[in-house]
Structures are given as C-alpha cells and as structure tokens.
C-alpha cells in the first residue's frame, strides 16, 4: 500500500502522527474498498483460514484474498437481487465459520450488516431483527445428529414470521442438507447459502452505491440481554478510521497473522480477527466455530500459534488465565509479538506470568461497541503500565471525568 510503518511509543508520538491529516491515513472509503485494495495486491495470499476442530493436525479450510472478494461480491449481489435494496439491513446469526466473513462483509458492501449473538434466546433474536428492520437473514441451518448445532436454526424458525420486514433467509449448512430450499413458517423463501450465492456474479458488485462517510455500515447490539435491544450504529468512516489506526498503532502488514477465538458477532473479533487483517493483506485464522469456548482450542493454543506462525490474538483475562494452565512445552512461540486484552482489568501476576512465559507483550486496551472498538491502548513499542488503558487512538480526543449521580460533569480526573 505504500504506507510508512510507524512505531508509536507515547502520546507525544501520537501528536506528531496527527500532523498529517487523518484522511491521508485512511486505507479506503469503506470496508469493501479496503478489502478490494488488499485483493489487488495480495490476491494469491491467504486471507482467512478455518480450523474446524482444535486438532493440531487438522488441515484448515483456506480462503485466498481473490476467493474472499469473490464470495463477498456473490453474497452482496445475491442479497441485492433477492431481497435487500442498497442501504438495506441483513442480519447475520452465525458462529465463527468462513461463511460468517462472506456474510458480514457482503452485507456491509450492500448496506447495513447486523451481526447477532447466536447464543441469544429467540425473543432477543426477534427484537434485534425487528428493531433493525432486517430484510434478509443469514443463519446457521440444522445440523444432523448435533442438537447444540441445530438450536440456532430452531430458535430462529420460532420467530422469523414475527419479523415482518424479512424477505429472504440464507441458511448455512455445515453438513449436506436433505432440503436446500423450503419455506419458513412465515412463507419467507429459504435457500442454501453456499449453493445459492454461487449463481451470482463474483467479479464485482452489480449495483451502484454511493458511499457516504457518515452512512451507516453496521448495527451492533450492545447493553446486555435485558429489555429492548440497544443497537449501536457504526458509519463507514468508523470502520475505515478504526481499522487504519489499529494497523498503524500496532504495525500490522501482510505478514501479520491473527488467531480468532472470540466471536465475530462482537466488535472485538469483527476487527481483530477480520477487517484489521483484510485491510492490510494479513491472515485471519478462525479457531473452530466455538473459538475459545472449545476447551480443545485453549488446550492446544500454543501449538496453534506455532502452526500458523501467529503474530497476535485478542483475548479476555479469563482466557489468558486458562491458557497459562497449559504448559507451553516445545511449542515455538517466536512469531507471537503480543496479545490484546480488554473487557476487564487483568491481574498483575497473570500479566507478568504471560509475558515471562511467552516473551510476547500484553497490550491492555479500552474500548466499547459505541466507540467502534478501540479507544485507547498501551503502546506496542513503548512503556506498558499494568492496569492502565494506555494512550488514545490518533485523531480521537479522550478525557476521563468525574460525574455526579445525574451524569453532570464535576471535574476532570487526576492523571
């Protein structure tokens, strides 16, 4: 891409970095544009690998950049031809499988993507789709002989006829379906995702779309699972800016390899094991459909780092603690530069033990869905203070203040 690499160590470096206008650092106009640019340069490099089980010897399902862009084009064109106008909403209820990437960024290329947690109950799934006025749904189909795997489809089937905006269901089938096309209770057409999108153009987008930087790109549900869902709106510029800044702050490039163990429906993995890699030619590896919830993934993670020559992964403190219960043994972790840890403060002894045993940095970071993902983080190349959320993202002012019980400003916090 021709962007110079940076080594941001301090707030002073951030301020120097900001001497260049932010728009000169953006890597495209939208997620689709950034993926397209990477494909032009890295067509024959792996964009995405899917490790179906936690077995080290399992051969991954590899998607090259050229194939990723083809699938995104086919998904977007299929949705547009079948149900969704430009700017319309597609809900995605999938675990961490390759079709999730095709669905998420295909839907975002056409309109607004609404990723939904597959573990939510039927009523919450319904409320989120109603609130977002979803016109299409990409969802995991029933799995023969797998009760847990079939629950997502059963929960969805129970409520789809209550989502009056819905016009199309694309069912992702992980084993050969007996029925690839049938009606849901509400009479909504149901198609097999893989078979159906293959009929559509994969070379480019069949529709014209003007991307406005403040146009909505995604609805991420947030605020827990009680009451009506809260949908955080992201703009195209949110995705471009956040991705561009994380690439610069953490020096990602085409040699970066991210392991994805957190769920893609959440902003953390959406960027850290998705768009951040796809925007710089890096390689995202999905570690089973269940990610870190698969005990085998945690047990074998050190050898999975070695297998993929992973340079980083994102985790939460409970996962980091669980990883340290498993001996590194003869696993070669020399590729691992750092891990990103957020969601809660990490215990100082876990922080130190992880860095000592792996020789990789722990980057504690702070962010929230409403702020796209990442608001501040400890610098990869500078001093890291345990328990600190580090320094702010470039071009993004941030301050800590004390509020009263009515959320009125009292004073700035001491720093």
Q: What does each of the 415 residues of the chain score in pLDDT, given as a tens digit?
A: 445 567 888 888 888 888 999 999 999 999 999 999 999 999 999 999 999 999 999 999 999 999 999 999 999 999 999 989 999 999 999 999 999 999 999 999 999 999 999 999 999 999 999 999 999 999 998 876 566 667 898 899 899 999 999 999 999 988 765 555 566 777 889 999 999 999 999 999 999 988 888 899 999 998 654 566 789 999 999 999 999 999 998 989 999 999 999 999 998 899 999 999 999 999 999 999 999 999 999 999 999 999 999 999 999 989 999 999 999 999 999 999 999 987 777 788 888 899 999 999 888 888 887 888 788 888 788 777 777 788 888 898 888 899 998 889 999 988 6
- Residue 148: the pLDDT is 63
What single DSSP character describes residue 59? P
- Residue 1: the pLDDT is 42
Alpha-carbon dihedral 57, 59, 61, 62, rounded to 10 degrees: 100
CATH topology of domain 65-232: Rossmann fold (3.40.50)
Note the residue count of the chain. Answer: 415
Q: How far apart are CA 388 and CA 366, in angstroms?
A: 9
Cα 251 vs. chain centroid, distance in angstroms? 18
Residue located via tokens 């190349």: 381
SS (H, E, C) 114-148: EECCCCCCHHHHHHHHHHHCCCEEEEECCCCCCHH
Specify the domain boundaries for CATH 3.40.50.12780 within the chain: 11-45+251-412, 65-232
Scanning 271-377, the segments in alpha helix (DSSP H) are: 276-278, 295-308, 317-324, 348-358
User: H or E element: which one contains 61?
Assistant: strand 61-64
**Residues in contact with 283: Cβ distance below 8 Å, sequence separation at least 6, in sequence order:** 45, 46, 47, 48, 49, 256, 257, 258, 277, 308
Domain 11-45+251-412 has CATH 3.40.50.12780: yes
């Amino acid at each position: 891409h021709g962007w110079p690499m940076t080594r941001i160590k301090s707030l002073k470096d951030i301020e120097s970095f900001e001497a260049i206008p932010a728009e000169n650092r953006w890597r495209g106009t939208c997620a689709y544009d950034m993926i397209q640019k990477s494909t032009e340069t890295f067509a024959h490099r792996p964009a995405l690998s899917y490790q179906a089980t936690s077995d080290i010897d399992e051969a991954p399902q590899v998607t090259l950049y050229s194939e990723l862009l083809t699938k995104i084009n086919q998904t977007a064109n299929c949705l547009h031809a079948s149900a969704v106008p430009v700017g319309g909403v597609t809900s995605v209820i999938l675990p961490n499988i390759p079709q999730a990437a095709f669905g998420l960024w295909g839907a975002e290329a056409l309109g607004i993507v609404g990723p939904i947690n597959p573990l939510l109950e039927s009523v919450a799934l319904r409320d989120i789709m109603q609130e977002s006025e979803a016109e299409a749904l990409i969802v995991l189909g029933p799995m023969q002989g797998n009760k847990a795997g079939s629950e997502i489809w059963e929960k969805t089937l129970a409520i789809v006829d209550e989502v009056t905006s819905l016009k199309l269901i694309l069912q992702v089938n992980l084993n050969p379906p007996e029925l690839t096309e049938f009606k849901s209770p509400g009479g909504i057409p149901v198609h097999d995702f893989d078979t159906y999108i293959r009929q559509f153009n994969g070379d480019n987008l069949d529709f014209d779309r003007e991307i406005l930087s403040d146009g909505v790109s995604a609805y991420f549900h947030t605020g827990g699972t009680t009451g009506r869902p809260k949908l955080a709106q992201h703009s195209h510029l949110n995705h471009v800016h956040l991705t561009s800044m994380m690439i610069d702050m953490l020096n990602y490039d085409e040699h970066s390899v991210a392991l994805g163990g957190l769920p893609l429906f959440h902003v953390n993995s959406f960027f850290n094991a998705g768009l951040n890699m796809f925007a710089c030619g890096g390689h995202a590896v999905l570690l089973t459909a269940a990610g870190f919830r698969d005990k085998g993934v945690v047990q074998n993670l050190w050898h999975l780092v070695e297998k993929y020559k992973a340079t980083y992964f994102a985790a939460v403190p409970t996962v980091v603690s669980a990883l340290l219960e498993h001996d590194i043994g003869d696993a070669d972790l020399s590729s691992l530069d750092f891990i990103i840890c957020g969601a809660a403060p990490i215990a100082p002894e876990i922080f130190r033990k992880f860095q000592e045993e792996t020789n990789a940095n722990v980057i504690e970071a702070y962010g929230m869905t409403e702020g796209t993902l990442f608001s501040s983080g400890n610098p990869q190349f500078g001093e890291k203070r345990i328990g600190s959320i580090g320094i702010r993202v470039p071009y993004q002012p941030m301050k800590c203040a004390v509020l009263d019980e009515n959320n009125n400003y009292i004073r700035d916090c001491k720093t």
